[in-house]
Amino acid sequence: MFLTLRLLVIGVMITQIAEGNLYNAVECVLTLFLFMLPSFVERRIKIDLPDTLEVIVVLLIFAAVILGEIQEYFVNVRGWDTMLHTINGFLAGAIGIALIDILNRTERFHFKMSPAFVALMAFCFSMTVGVVWEFYEYGMDTFFRRDMQKDTLVATFNSVALNPEGRNVPVVVTDISKTVIYGKVNGVETEIALSGYLDIGIHDTMKDLLVNFIGASCMSLLGYVHIKRRGEGPSGQVLKNLMPTIEASALETHDAAHSAPPD
């Protein structure tokens, strides 16, 4: 599967170069490097990633960059972005639980965290990853003229800026059937009529964080049950295929180094 995905990415990259889309070609190169990330983590950090987790991570990268951005699934497939952010929140929660649980079970650390606290920290870790990603999207839109934070047409909104008295009291604008934008599109003066008010990214950002919240919450709950029962039951089987574990040799090396007497 990894070989097939790499060949597909290389094929898309060649196509984008032939069409003169150098930005998309660079994204393909970045995708190939990201495909190597799971193997790098296993070799250099000595953390064992379950095969299921590796497959999902690689498919998630392919679905986001190649299908979502280059093949325009984010625009043409309803709910594509929402699905990816939900899965991301779920996986980031699993990784957060695994990392904290590894520290919690290592003898070199002199404190132990309760299952509820581990689940809470995993939830915070997942939400932080989601927030940082939204920062990345905003930065790309601001500095590189992309549109990763997709716009939304809305029929109603509240605004203090439109208060005729200049007060800090929002006015409610409803039943917006048409707005007109006057400006330059690719350097050409253009008038664009829209069937609603154009929101610039805020709805997309908040929706992404909301579904990340849902994914993180579900994983944190599963993680709490998993740690409480130590892998027993259905939740344990699910998380066993999703949670990274530190290699026994690496753990023994760390503990031995910590317990060795000073020279």
208 and 192 co-located in one domain: no
- Same structural domain for residues 48 and 156? no
Burial class of residue 223, CB neighbours in 10 A (0-12, 13-18, 19+): buried
Q: Are 65 and 160 in the same domain?
A: no
Q: What angle do CA 235, 241, 244 make, to 5 degrees?
A: 110
Distance from C-alpha of 16 to C-alpha of 5, rounded to nearest angstrom: 16
Q: Please check whether residues 195 and 229 belong to one and the same domain.
A: no
Instruction: Output the six-digit token pair for 256.
Output: 């031995």
In this structure, the answer to whether residues 98 and 12 fall within a common structural domain is: yes
Residues 211, 137 share a domain: yes
Residues 242 and 188 occupy one common structural domain: no
Give the span between the Cα atoms of 191 and 121, in whole angstroms.
Answer: 50
pTM as predicted:
0.83
List per-residue pLDDT tens for the chain, 263 residues long.
Answer: 899 999 999 999 999 999 999 999 999 999 999 999 888 888 887 778 888 889 999 999 999 999 999 999 999 999 999 999 999 999 999 888 888 877 777 666 666 788 898 899 999 999 999 999 999 999 999 998 888 899 999 999 999 999 999 999 999 999 999 999 999 988 899 999 999 999 888 999 999 999 999 999 999 998 888 888 765 666 666 777 777 777 655 555 545 554 555 55
Same domain, residue pair 138 and 168: no
Q: Are 188 and 80 in contact (CB under 8 A)?
A: no
Residues 111 and 217 in one domain: yes
The answer to whether residues 31 and 111 belong to one domain is: yes
Domain tally, the chain: 2
Work out the angle between the directed axes of helices 115-143 and 80-104 (0-180°, nearest 10).
Answer: 140
For residue 183, the enclosing domain spans: 152-199
Strand residue runs (E) in the chain: 47-48, 152-154, 157-159, 171-173, 179-185, 188-194, 197-199, 245-246
